[in-house]
A = this chain, B = another copy of it.
């Protein structure tokens, strides 16, 4: 059960001109599951991506990086679930490319114009024959209004499909942004999404779109964490089809860039927070706001130290105001010259700690009340600067252990 997140109404997901989606059951790891998605992208579109920093990155990530670096026109993406195609060496690269070739043939485009994505179990080889056999059915099913189906097809341990649409007017033209994402475990900044795809019909320059992808990811998918494990496959992709008719957005300082980026961030916030709300075993959704830092980076570091602490996360699960564990996590964030005497801790509206210890007015009953809701905001003031950052996470329950002890069986 995700925390306050329901499957999106399919009617709320707006098609993006120039993008069609088709899914099928390819039987990649288990029979009877929708496990293959093909997204066709119109000629003339721009595609940008941000990928995992894990050194054991998956073969499809390597292939995506190469193809985006080559500035090739991208005409489709292929996504499979079940097997991650990570920790698969040279054969993994060949397999990822073979899947692309099968899709290219079915779509009548160049093999190098396909981006591959995989998610699932690590260190097993992709059954290329089954992927290739499934692709014609996925291509035959291509539709502009299949975003909800696509969100379902990329799920693994997710319990809820994650999709979202927004519109914004840019230079008098209504522009649409629609996105899907998947992920519930092995979720950690850099990238946290596992897989996220956002498409817009806006026209955006190539370098500008790449800059936008980084900007959006840093404020959304890279600021959520479930369990602190950075996946081998994390990928976040922006597609801009240029079908809306707006003047092309070029450069990062413009009002048009800001409007589109903010709209994309809105979609990315919904999707990335949905990943946390659907975090493996999650019963609570925690927003951690860190302010008063010297840099945004150190605020993020403090937020993640809190978000990664198993002791903090189990306390949230138990609704136990054992809030010293949060101070302990702040102290572990690696800021060598942090002065605990200047740190403040709020839980919701309640001041819990200041001057190096418990606030005079704080009582256990207030803590219990603040820990009870399914949505909790932790606010940490570092008292050393003007920067801030926000991190989103969930609690740590019996079910996290259960899900991850049983995942493959």
Residues on A lying within 8 angstroms of B by beta carbon are: 54-57, 84, 86-92, 121-125, 185-186, 188, 227-232, 308-311, 314-315, 317-318, 320, 322-325, 327-333, 335-336, 338, 340-341, 343, 353, 355-358, 396-398, 400-402, 404-409
Verify B310–A404 contact, CB threshold 8 A: yes
Verify A55–B340 contact, CB threshold 8 A: yes
Q: How far is the CA of A201 from the CA of B55 in the complex (A)?
A: 49
Among candidates B57, B353, B400, B407, residue contacting A401 with C-beta atoms closer than 8 Å: B400
Q: A318-B405, A336-B55 are in contact. Are A311 and B89 (CB under 8 A)?
A: no
Q: Which residues of B contact A397 (CB under 8 A)?
A: 401
Q: How far is the CA of A156 from the CA of B308 in the complex (A)?
A: 23
Q: Which residues of B contact A229 (CB under 8 A)?
A: 309-311, 325, 328-329, 332
The distance from the CB of A340 to the nearest CB of chain B, in whole angstroms, is 5
Verify A353–B405 contact, CB threshold 8 A: no
Verify A56–B401 contact, CB threshold 8 A: no
The distance from the CB of A318 to the nearest CB of chain B, in whole angstroms, is 4
Verify B121–A324 contact, CB threshold 8 A: yes
The distance from the CB of A287 to the nearest CB of chain B, in whole angstroms, is 21
Verify A87–B338 contact, CB threshold 8 A: no
Verify B327–A122 contact, CB threshold 8 A: yes
Counting every copy of the chain, the complex holds 2
Q: How far is the CA of A288 from the CA of B335 in the complex (A)?
A: 28
Verify B328–A186 contact, CB threshold 8 A: yes
Q: A89-B356, A323-B123, A353-B87 are in contact. Are A227 and B56 (CB under 8 A)?
A: no
Among candidates B90, B91, B327, residue contacting A56 with C-beta atoms closer than 8 Å: B327
Q: List 18 A-B contacts (CB under 8 A).
A: A54-B328, A55-B330, A55-B332, A57-B331, A90-B355, A91-B357, A123-B323, A123-B357, A229-B309, A232-B327, A232-B328, A310-B310, A314-B404, A317-B401, A318-B404, A318-B406, A322-B407, A398-B401
Q: Which residues of B contact A124 (CB under 8 A)?
A: 324, 358
Q: Which residues of B contact A336 (CB under 8 A)?
A: 55
Verify B356–A90 contact, CB threshold 8 A: yes
Q: Which residues of B contact A402 (CB under 8 A)?
A: 398
- A-B contact sample (10 more), CB < 8 A, given A55-B340, A186-B311, A320-B409: A56-B327, A56-B330, A87-B324, A88-B356, A124-B324, A232-B327, A310-B310, A318-B404, A318-B406, A398-B401
